[in-house]
Structure 1
Amino acid sequence: MKGKIVFITGASSGIGEGCARKFASEGANLLLNARNVAKLEELKKELETQYGVRVHLLPFDVRDRKLAAQALEALPAEWKNIDVLINNAGLVIGVDKEFEGNLDEWDIMIDTNIRALLSMTRMVVPGMVERGRGHIINIGSIAGDAAYPGGSVYCATKAAVKALSDGLRIDLVDTPLRVTNIKPGMVETNFSVVRYRGDKGAADAFYKGIRPLTGDDIAETVYYAASAPEHIQIAEVLLMPTNQATGTISYKKK
């Protein structure tokens, strides 16, 4: 992975931040995207100092297609040849029933989890095809396999990530490019705080009694897929805590 360019969306926290650290530790140069400029700058300084890699920041909201296009078009020539695209930016807001949910919050989820992923794919992958190399890694979820109470819209967005990953893999079958869908189960990050609309107590209670995965755990799996020999395409990975069996069945100690 040394010297390769890895573009990570949603890189300022959670899985994205974990991926940034993991790939930097293996010598990759990073394009890091997020809305939180201060956190991105802090992470850039840390990774460049600790690992001697180069980090270029792309501080835009992935939902803003025009701004995203401008930022990618304005990249210096040495940053344009992206080797790995990690579509990580995503979120869930609320645990409402489908007939009681907030339409504006649904728009945010759909725009971030589906439309932004499509935008990044459309903007980055043509260059990969032209160069004859590249890997697209989409961060999906166990939620995309089956709906669960209070999560129908989020589950639908992650089912879309699976379908889009599968479809892209089909579209690229006559190229050397690879497509991977990583589907985590319970992961304890700020993601869960957003789910509960900022209620950290509720987020903490959700994981009480079980050891959840961390952003770093997911990053290890992402790197494993990216570092496989070029003739191996790890199409999909479902990973969960040991005491989780499905999206709705887990064992939590009292």
Structure 2
Amino acid sequence: MSTRRVVVTGASSGIGAATVRLFRLRGWDVVGVARRADRLAALRAETGADVFTADLTVQADVDALRDYLAETGPVHALVNNAGGAKGLDSVEAGSIEDWAWMFEINVLAVKRVTTALLPLLRAGIRSGAGSADIVTVTSIAGHVAYLGGGGYNAAKFAAHAMTEVLRLELSGEPIRVIEIAPGMVKTDEFGLVRFNGDADKAFAAYDNVPDPLSAEDVAETIVSSVERPAHVNLDLIVIKPVAQAAPTRIARGELTVREP
């Protein structure tokens, strides 16, 4: 069979960019998708990946992505990675605009892309691939609520539920539906988006935390899940640093053995 092709959204930075790099190292054809054309161009020059500029909250952009992919070859895997958080406000005080943005990017964009690409994934199976994969990157925020989580918890809980329902709907087809739910991942942009560019707030969460996850840690988990034997489905993978027992239970300082 020819080289397999994977589509990775949110590819311009963080987990998405790391996932593109690792898939390329493993010999995959990759199409990285994001809004920022300059970042995508740099990623293409670095990795040899194909790229497509799109705002996944805009249906016309998603349709254009679908048409481009259909014209340029089969699709064997989709990684729904684009997402983000805004604010740590209470439910009462939270901004409706922030909530709407979080639902658009974390839920509706995943639905748009999945709907658009499922026919292409099925076509890839029929052309000889034998199977296909849909990976959605959610968060532990989609499984455990926490103070200040409000809109982000709600959006990621919805993304988790959508992934569970999709797996039920696709039962009987050779399409694996995989959810990756990371905990604390130290990247350059997640906190900056959440706190409107306030770097002090963005990086305070990582202060004195021993070894938070890196984007590369999560990318390794994504690629490994897709490269398992086709009959093995890792339905849900929760990945956290050892220092994080729960969303708000985080050890700071050196990890040491307690005295009995």
Same fold (TM over 0.5): yes
Q: Tell me which amino acid in the other structure corresponds to 2:239.
A: L
Other structure's SS at 1:86 match? strand
Q: CA deviation at 1:125?
A: 1.1
The worse-fitting range, judged by mean Cα deviation, of 135-144 and 195-204 is: 195-204
In structure 2, the partner of 1:60 is 54
In structure 2, the partner of 1:74 is 68
Q: Tell me which amino acid in the other structure corresponds to 1:60.
A: A
List structure 1 segments (4+ residues) > 6 angstroms apart after TM superposition. none
In structure 1, the partner of 2:157 is 159
2:169 corresponds to which of 159, 168, 171:
171
Distance 1:76 1:164, change over 3 A: closer
Other structure's SS at 2:92 match? coil
Q: Distance in 2 between the 1:131 and 1:225 partners?
A: 19
Q: CA deviation at 1:126?
A: 2.3
TM-score (norm 2): 0.91
Deviation sequence 1:185-225 (CA, Å, 0-9, x none) = 00011111111111111121110111210111100000110
Q: Distance in 1 between the 2:234 and 2:102 partners?
A: 27
Other structure's SS at 1:162 match? helix
In structure 2, the partner of 1:88 is 81
In structure 2, the partner of 1:52 is none
Name structure 2 gaps, 5 residues minimum.
126-130, 255-260
TM-score (norm 1): 0.93
In structure 2, the partner of 1:209 is 208
The worse-fitting range, judged by mean Cα deviation, of 234-243 and 55-64 is: 55-64
Q: Is the 8 A contact 2:70 2:120 kept in 1?
A: no
Q: Percent identity?
A: 32
In structure 2, the partner of 1:3 is 3
Q: CA deviation at 1:2?
A: 7.7
Q: Tell me which amino acid in the other structure corresponds to 1:116.
A: A
Other structure's SS at 1:129 match? helix
Aligned residues: 247
Q: Distance in 2 between the 1:175 and 1:117 partners?
A: 20
Q: Distance in 1 between the 2:206 and 2:2 partners?
A: 36
Aligned ranges 1:1-254 → 2 under 5 Å: 3-48=3-48, 55-75=49-69, 77-79=71-73, 81-132=74-125, 133-189=131-187, 190-210=189-209, 211-253=211-253
Name structure 1 gaps, 5 residues minimum.
49-54
